[in-house]
């Protein structure tokens, strides 16, 4: 889909910043009190772990896709140079 792990990490950091901004904005602009500001800050702050987890999952997929061809090439190269057929056990 074109979403990279770095984008998710940045979204997590932005969520933390937005959480602090929402808390300060709510305390300054609303007369509902500190409880409502806390709820806004916590609500937006809860997004950060999700973004970071998605970033980690995407990073794992990116590195797996980068490593897979080289690992397959190494297993074939080593097997053929020894005069035997390559094993697919590790793939």
How many domains does the chain divide into? 1
pTM (2 d.p.): 0.61
User: Which tops the pLDDT comparison, 87 or 35?
Assistant: 35
In a domain, 49, yes or no: yes
In a domain, 61, yes or no: yes
In a domain, 87, yes or no: no
Token pair for residue 2?
Answer: 């074109």
Of the pLDDT bands very low, low, confident and very high (cuts 50, 70, 90), residue 38 is confident
By residue range, what is the domain housing residue 74? 5-81
Q: Is 46 exposed, middle or buried (0-12, 13-18, 19+ CB in 10 A)?
A: exposed
In a domain, 91, yes or no: no
Q: Is 35 exposed, middle or buried (0-12, 13-18, 19+ CB in 10 A)?
A: exposed
Token pair for residue 86?
Answer: 């390559």
Dump the DSSP string for 25-48. Answer: HHHHH-SS-HHHHHHHHHHHHTHH
Q: Answer for the pair 68, 57: CB distance below 8 angstroms, yes or no.
A: no
User: Which tops the pLDDT comparison, 30 or 11?
Assistant: 11
In a domain, 31, yes or no: yes
């Amino acid at each position: 889909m074109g979403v990279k792990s770095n984008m998710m990490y940045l979204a997590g950091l932005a969520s933390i910043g937005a959480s602090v901004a929402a808390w300060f904005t709510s305390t300054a602009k609303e007369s509902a009190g500190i409880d409502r500001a806390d709820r806004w800050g916590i609500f937006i702050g809860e997004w950060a772990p999700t973004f970071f987890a998605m970033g980690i999952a995407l990073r794992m997929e990116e590195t797996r896709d980068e490593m897979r061809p080289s690992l397959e090439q190494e297993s074939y190269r080593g097997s053929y140079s020894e005069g035997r057929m390559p094993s697919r056990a590790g793939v």
